[in-house]
Amino acid sequence: MPKRLINKLLQYLVFLCLGLVFAWLSFRNMDAEKWLQLQKSLQGTRLFIGIPVLFMLVLSHWIRAIRWKLLLEPLGYQPSSLNSFFAVMVGYLVNLGVPRLGEIVKCTLLSRYENIPADKLIGSIILERLIDALCLLGVFALTLAVQPALYGSIIATFFPSQETLLQEKTSLPFFWITLVALSLLLLFWMKWKKKTFHDLLMLFSGVLQRIFEGISSIRHLNKRKQFVALTIILWSLYLYSGYLGFLTFQETSYYGFKEALTILSAGSIGMIASPGGIGAYAYLVQKTMQLYGLNYTVSLAFGWLLWLAQTAVILLLGVLSFVALPWINSKRKQRIH
């Protein structure tokens, strides 16, 4: 088996295991009483509110496809909006199983049906990811700016002090096991990749440099204002979908945009941490809502419900796009001929 394939397989297994660990963390404190509480919380949900949430999620994927088109225009290519959307959704579908493979698949599909060189498409995807990273940093900054006290709560929750750990004896072994496991994982990766700590610093430095390059490249777009507007709308849809999600539970209905900003930040990290955000997204949203005083079972239900809504949209539209893409393009060729 080629070394490159082995590396990809190991990376996938590591991220999948990380997602399963997060899933275990979400449910590890559940007992019979909490399962009953969870059942009651789910029975009281207003699922009809999920309809506009699903619509907003679909619209966000469409806007992402249109924004991708704008990145291709300076290169002299204008793919159809429908093909771009189908390619984006199939890419998301593949990413649920194998992270980052979806980016290659969607470039391959659009290259096939729009006759665009694959390397040009991959370059546009890299640029898009850099811009998304910048937007995510902006969301983090805004979240902490409107909630200055939140930073201390996050540190206290995810990185408890020695005194807190000693007071909560049951958490002490798990904390050290997690810390040691993450340290060993980092050392294993460094040994496998033959990296030093200096290499890690250079890696982070390179990421920051590429982010700044991505910002400067926006100047060369033909429709800069449209691109910026679509980006703002895209992230606003992410924010509003979380806000509407609060209305599905009576216990979360009084939360507002500040809390929605926080779950957007936490959920975005969760989506990066594991394939399709499995385990990680729900756990981080759950812990975030507990910062605001929401009880354990409702936080658990809320986090998993948000993740299921996003995953359901990707599964449904991904499969439909996979089927529709060749069919619609074959019909288009028949009309041309």
**How far apart (Å, rounded) are the C-alpha atoms in residues 277 and 279?**
6
One-letter amino acid at 114 equals: E
Flag whether 80 is in a domain: yes
Q: Is residue 99 classed as helix, strand or coil in its secondary structure? A: coil
Q: What is the pLDDT of residue 82?
A: 93
User: Cα–Cα distance between 106 and 87 in angstroms, integer?
Assistant: 5
Domain assignment of residue 52, yes or no: yes
The CA distance from 214 to 128, in Å, is 8
Nearest to 175 by CA among 190, 164, 186: 164
- Confirm whether 245 is domain-assigned: yes
Residue 259 lies in a domain: yes
Q: What is the pLDDT at residue 116?
A: 84
Question: What's the total number of domains in the chain?
Answer: 1
237 domain residue, yes or no: yes
In whole angstroms, what is the distance from residue 79 CA to residue 66 CA?
10
Residue 25 belongs to some domain of the structure: no
Give pLDDT, residue 96.
Answer: 83
Closest alpha carbon to 290 in 254, 261, 252: 252
Residues 312, 206: Cα–Cα separation, whole Å: 35
**Position 232: which residue type?**
I
Contact 61/88 with Cβ under 8 angstroms? yes
Q: What is the pLDDT along the chain (337 residues), one digit of tens a residue?
A: 555 555 656 666 666 666 666 666 666 766 666 677 677 776 767 778 878 889 999 999 999 999 999 888 877 888 899 999 999 999 999 888 777 778 888 988 998 888 888 777 887 888 888 888 888 888 988 988 888 776 566 655 555 554 544 444 444 454 455 556 666 666 766 666 667 766 767 766 665 665 555 455 566 677 888 988 999 999 999 999 999 989 888 888 889 899 999 999 988 888 887 777 888 888 888 888 888 888 888 888 888 888 888 999 999 999 999 999 888 888 776 666 5
Structural domain including 321 reads 46-159+221-330
- Would 14 be classed as within a structural domain? no
> What amino acid is encoded at 302 in this protein?
F
Residue count (the chain):
337
Determine the Cα–Cα distance for residues 139 and 260; give it in Å rounded to an integer. Answer: 11
Residue 206 lies in a domain: no
